[in-house]
A and B are shown apart, each in its own frame.
Chain A
Amino acid sequence: MAVPLTAYLIVGALLFGLGVYAVIAQRSAVMILMGIEVLLNAIGLNMIAFWRFVNPGDYSAQIFTILIITIGAVEMGIGLAIMMLLYRNRGTVQVDQYDSLKG
């Protein structure tokens, strides 16, 4: 193990920051969904890095990461379906155009 744990955690931190940027700065709902996927992925990377360096005998961390990926996939499916409906009704998926509840 030439590469230390901190190096992996730094990559995770950078991914997390970029995910936050994508969620806030993008107008399209699909891009926001993608930003959330990056956030989930950063969490998974940290999880596996800690698993490898701290407790490699217990595979629970991998199961947990599989569940994170599952949740990401289901969220992607539902999110796209909702966007499909919104797009059919309003013709756009830009989140700042959905202001009808603003009064």
Chain B
Amino acid sequence: MSFAEAAEWFAFVILAVISVAGALGMATTMSMFRSGIFLMASFIGVAGLFVLLSADLLGLLQVMMYIGGMLVMILFMVLFSHDPGGSMMADMDMSLIERFFSLGLSSSPDKEGMDMERHGHDGMDMGGQGGHDPMDMGGQGGMDMSMTTPVKRWAAALSVTLGGGLVALLLLRPAWPTTDTTPNPESARMIGELLMSKYMMAFEGAGLLILIGIFGAVLVARPGAYPDRDARDAYVTRDLPPAPIDEDPPPSADAHVPPEALEEVTVSGAHRDEAGGPPPQNETGQAASESLDRDS
């Protein structure tokens, strides 16, 4: 085996491990943020495999798409979840894989929350036979913290069967009619020419699909999707998560904010849930364009 072949195998093994371990970590870690990052790692690993397969434009395109996409998705995941950092869940009793992918998340020595959590966990394990009773979870309402459905074991069995079956099928039929020709190195030019000739309708169709996507997303999520101002305020207040997890803001954090910077804090960055209520809105337009003029 030559050095180049060994290097290719080395790169392949590293990238394959990143992509599979990333997907596994996404499904099993306790931290919402981590699961988004693990998924991104999985996508970057697959992008590396694309590059290894000589599809470099496609691989980089996937990296660009999913770094932006996953960072945005994590914003929403953090908004929707009760314990996005996973530091509370990380103290629970977990299976081996879950523990491995949640390593380094929490170290709090006190295990007071354990009993309550274990209760939820038992319910989860026993509900394994299909039809999951909504009363079981409904009674606890928002207190039910578990991230997985009661059919978790069945899902694991199914996915192991499916993955194992597919791998077995692949190993049973290892011979595919392959060729040794190498692709044209100017992949961007080849793709561009195909997009402009044979796949022009697909290109415009993708544009139309993106447009419909924008229409749908804006229509559903826009701030004005409420009947009137009062209804909107009601929703926005309800939009706040049930209870902030850290009650006490650090005294030092507020002390050193100069008064003129306070307004800046409320219109920028993330809104703390302690701030409460709808934050002020910017008046649109002219200030932004003025600064552009000065800048250019």
Contact = CB atoms under 8 A, between A and B. Distances in A.
Interface of A: 1-11, 13-22, 24-31, 33-35, 37-38, 41, 44-45, 48-49, 51-57, 59-60, 62-63, 65-67, 69-71, 73-74, 76-78, 80-85, 87-89, 91-94, 96-97, 99, 102
A59 B190 contact: yes
Given A14-B163, A74-B209, A96-B134, A67 B202 contact: yes
A92 B174 contact: no
Given A41-B46, A78-B217, A16 B179 contact: no
| B contacts with A: majority SS | helix
Nearest to A17: B163
A5 B52 CA distance: 12
B275 interface: no
A69 B57 CA distance: 13
Interface string B174-194: 101111111110010011001
Nearest to A89: B235
Contact of A34 (B6, B73, B187, B198): B73
Name the 7 nearest CB pairs between A and B, nearest first. A17-B163, A13-B166, A21-B159, A24-B155, A2-B5, A74-B213, A25-B155
B266 interface: no
A69 B42 CA distance: 15
Contacts of A97: 137-138
29 contacts: A2-B8, A5-B176, A15-B23, A18-B20, A20-B159, A22-B27, A26-B148, A27-B148, A30-B32, A30-B76, A31-B27, A34-B36, A37-B39, A48-B58, A51-B55, A52-B53, A52-B55, A59-B183, A59-B191, A59-B194, A67-B206, A69-B62, A73-B65, A73-B210, A80-B73, A85-B220, A85-B225, A94-B144, A99-B134
Contacts of B58: 48, 62, 65-66
Interface size band for B: 35 or more
Interface of B: 1, 4-6, 8-9, 12, 16, 19-20, 23-24, 26-27, 32, 35-36, 39, 42-43, 46, 49-50, 52-55, 57-58, 61-62, 65, 69, 72-73, 76-77, 79-81, 132, 134, 137-138, 142, 144, 146-149, 151-152, 154-156, 158-160, 162-164, 166-167, 170-171, 174, 176-184, 187, 190-191, 194-195, 198-199, 202, 206, 209-210, 212-214, 216-218, 220-221, 225, 235, 238-239, 242
